[in-house]
Amino acid sequence: MRKFDYSLDYANLDLRKRPDLYAIGRGEQGVLLVEPYKSEILPHWRFKDPATARESSDKIFTRFIDYLAANDFVGADMARKFLQMGYTRSRRYANYPGGKKYRGPVPEDKKGQSGAHGRAQHERGPEDPVKAESARIFKAKWEEAKAHPDYQAQKQAFVERYG
């Protein structure tokens, strides 16, 4: 699989029209960049409490299914990334008060990369059970999306076609 290309001008690209420019990448790479999907999915992404997380993950999963039905793998993969991000961000807030895992800003040359990059990590607080439940809700939908047979088939076809 190709690495996610952060050098592309995603603000001015429509990856629905140019799926050849999309790279699945690792994890949530590009989730807040790739258009038009970011603009279609982000307004529904919320995790403040279990009811909100359930409504949000259901809406995003419905979009996921709609993208699959339209044979739009890039859209389906972006919806999957938003479900994953719902899980990871909820877990971060469950583990760290205020959702701050690291101290200080990310160095400019390290943006878009994962990991601490030498920054000091905050102490974990007591687990927030509300955010932990939100994380559980998103994780279940994320796992369902990843395992969906149409997603798996479209992913394989996408990788065979575009690398």
List, for residues 76-86, the tens digit of each pLDDT value.
999 999 999 99
Would the pLDDT of 116 be above 60?
A: no
Residue 125 counted as domain residue: yes
Residue 116 counted as domain residue: no
For the chain, give the mean pLDDT: 89
Cβ–Cβ contacts within 10 Å for residue 36, how many? 15
Split into its structural domains, the chain has a count of 1
Q: Mean of the pLDDT values across residues 110-131?
A: 68
Q: What is the pLDDT of residue 13?
A: 96
Residue 80 counted as domain residue: yes
- The answer to whether 14 and 39 are in contact (CB under 8 A) is no
Q: How much is the pTM? A: 0.85
Higher pLDDT, 111 or 142: 142
Residue 76 counted as domain residue: yes
Q: Counting Cβ atoms within 10 Å, is residue 85 exposed (0-12), middle (13-18) or buried (19+)?
A: buried
Residue 3 counted as domain residue: no
Domain with 65 in it: 10-103+121-162
Backbone angles phi, psi at 19, to 5 degrees: -60, -20
Residue 27 counted as domain residue: yes
Confidence of residue 71 (pLDDT cuts 50, 70, 90): very high
Residue 26 counted as domain residue: yes
Residue 108 counted as domain residue: no
Confidence of residue 111 (pLDDT cuts 50, 70, 90): low
Q: What is the pLDDT of residue 1?
A: 73
